[in-house]
Amino acid sequence: MPSNRVGQLRPTAVNSVLAEVRALQARGVTPVSLMRGEPDLPTPPHIVEAAAEALRRGRTQYPDNRGELKLREAAALKLHRDNGISYDPGTEILVTTGATMGIWAALTALLNEGDEVLVPEPVYDAYYSPILLAGAVPRGVPAILEKGRFTIDASAWRSAVTSKSRALLINTPWNPVGTVLTRAELTALAGLAAAHNLTILSDEIYETITYDGHTHISPASLGPEIRNRTILINSLSKTYAMTGWRVGYCAAPAETIGAMLLVLQQASRGPATFLQDAAAAALTGPQDCVAQMREEYARRRARALVALTGMKRAAPLAPEGGFFAMLDVRGLGLPSNDIRRRLLNDHHVTVIHGAAYGAAGEGTLRVSFATGANTLAEGLRRLRTGLEAVV
């Protein structure tokens, strides 16, 4: 029997849909997946070589639980270089097993029983479980779809705050909807956090993947007050096509990082030392691979938008960042989960229904272009055919 806390947990949308995909595969059908946030690009060779070289040097012992100093220094350098924020690698950086571990350690270190965490809806649904595991309550703040962009009005954030609110968990560029929060939007959130003594958890793992002149801004860069109430969470998964390596890092004031370290020591004690050496090489080495990946995602985004434009009752939204495009399917007049099922069962293409990310996502589908080439071309063809067949 699971505990009451574990009893509240649900598989993520991707995992639930994967179960349906496997059932179909067992019947001999091979659906094309436009579902996962999994880059198909290889990890750049100089990073792979750094890992191999570290292994050959025998870097196989337990890591420093805070993260190897070399990687903490590399993360501090990167945060200064790319985000304009200074952190002390000795006390203000924690290396984690992906952003997933960073999010969990931050929430566990921060939350008391009954605390509320404000999350934007549509939400990256994997945020719910660690909030619930910490005995706290997620409170979705609904976005509205305005001029092709999901956005949350400052007044909606304000009216979601209660005496139990403890933190805001945001994600920019925002998975699933593709919005990149502007300086004005972040400044408003910073003001709200200061007024109500909230901590901002800022998940920035898509920071390098932005389009059409949109640029990522970390809330911690807005000024010392907001820096000191922000836990910045990042990882190498998307930026360097390193999802399977499981390396990430967090930055926050020393007291917060100290508490998160205690939490992390109960669960993972950090990524393998040789992977940390390679991660340091990624953060401090040449960054042209990052620009090349961004250009490749931009080409795929353009391909997806062209392939999905001009339908009578469905239209793509151009994402400002990340590698997902939302499709507005409100014109089809059916629940998004029904449309998703029809696309999967009748047209053998997998996407995620917007309702999986909260009620504010109803009427949309999330389409991933993290995978390119024939998978993208064939997936988009099936998607269009399927959507045009829905009556």
Ligand X SMILES: Cc1ncc(COP(=O)(O)O)c(C=O)c1O
Q: How far is the CB of 246 from ligand X (least distance, A)?
A: 7
Examine residue 371 and tell whether it contacts ligand X (CB under 6 A): no
Q: How many CB atoms lie within 10 A of CB 186?
A: 21
Site membership for ligand X, residue 237 (CB under 6 A): yes
- Measured CA to CA, the distance from residue 274 to residue 59 in angstroms comes to 5
Residue 248 three-state SS: strand
Encoding tokens for residue 385? 């055919």
- The full DSSP string for 77-121 is HHHHHHH-----TTTSEEEESHHHHHHHHHHHHH--TT-EEEEEE
Q: Least distance (Å) from ligand X to the CB of residue 237?
A: 3
**205 counts as binding ligand X under rule CB under 6 A:** yes
By CB under 6 A, tell whether 218 contacts ligand X: no
Nearest to ligand X of 138, 386 (CB atom): 138
Q: Which is nearer to ligand X, 119 or 193 (CB)?
A: 119
Nearer to ligand X, 347 or 368 (CB): 368
Contact status: 100 vs ligand X (CB under 6 A): yes
> Under rule CB under 6 A, which residues in 139-178 are in contact with ligand X?
171, 175
Count of residues near ligand X by CB under 6 A: 13
Q: Which is nearer to ligand X, 12 or 284 (CB)?
A: 12
Phi, psi of 165 (to 5 degrees): -65, 135
Contact 300, 376 (CB under 8 A): yes
3-state DSSP percent of the chain in helix, strand and coil, to 5 = 45, 15, 35
At 378, which amino acid appears? E
**Paired tokens of 242:** 């390193």
Q: Which is nearer to ligand X, 235 or 276 (CB)?
A: 235
Q: Of 185, 203, 207, 320, which one interacts with ligand X (CB under 6 A)? A: 203
CB of 1 to ligand X, least distance (A): 29
Number of residues that this document lists for the chain: 391
| Residue 275 vs residues 55, 216, 272: alpha-carbon distances, Å | 9, 26, 5
Nearer to ligand X by C-beta: 38 or 73?
A: 38
**Shortest distance in whole angstroms from residue 173 CB to ligand X:** 9
Contact flag: residue 98 with ligand X (CB under 6 A): yes
Q: Specify the residue, 171 or 350, whose C-beta has the smaller distance to ligand X.
A: 171
Options 108, 172, 202, 235; binder of ligand X; rule CB under 6 A:
235
Amino acid residing at 196: H
Work out whether 367 is an interface residue with ligand X (CB under 6 A).
no
243/236 Cα distance (integer angstroms): 7
| Nearest by Cα to 342 from 368, 334, 86 | 334
Neighbours of 5 (CB within 10 A): 12
Smallest CA-to-CA distance from 79 within 66, 88, 69, 90 is with: 88
- Interface map 115-144 toward ligand X (x if CB under 6 A): ---------x--------------------
Rule CB under 6 A: choose which of 31, 248, 270, 321 binds ligand X. 248
Report if residue 363 touches ligand X, rule: CB under 6 A: no
Q: Which stretch binds ligand X (CB under 6 A): 48-56, 92-100, 270-278, 374-382?
A: 92-100
Residue 157 near residue 170 (C-beta atoms within 8 A): no
Comparison of 99 and 222: residue with beta carbon closer to ligand X? 99
Contacts with ligand X, residue ranges (CB under 6 A): 37, 98-100, 124, 171, 175, 203, 205, 235, 237, 243, 248
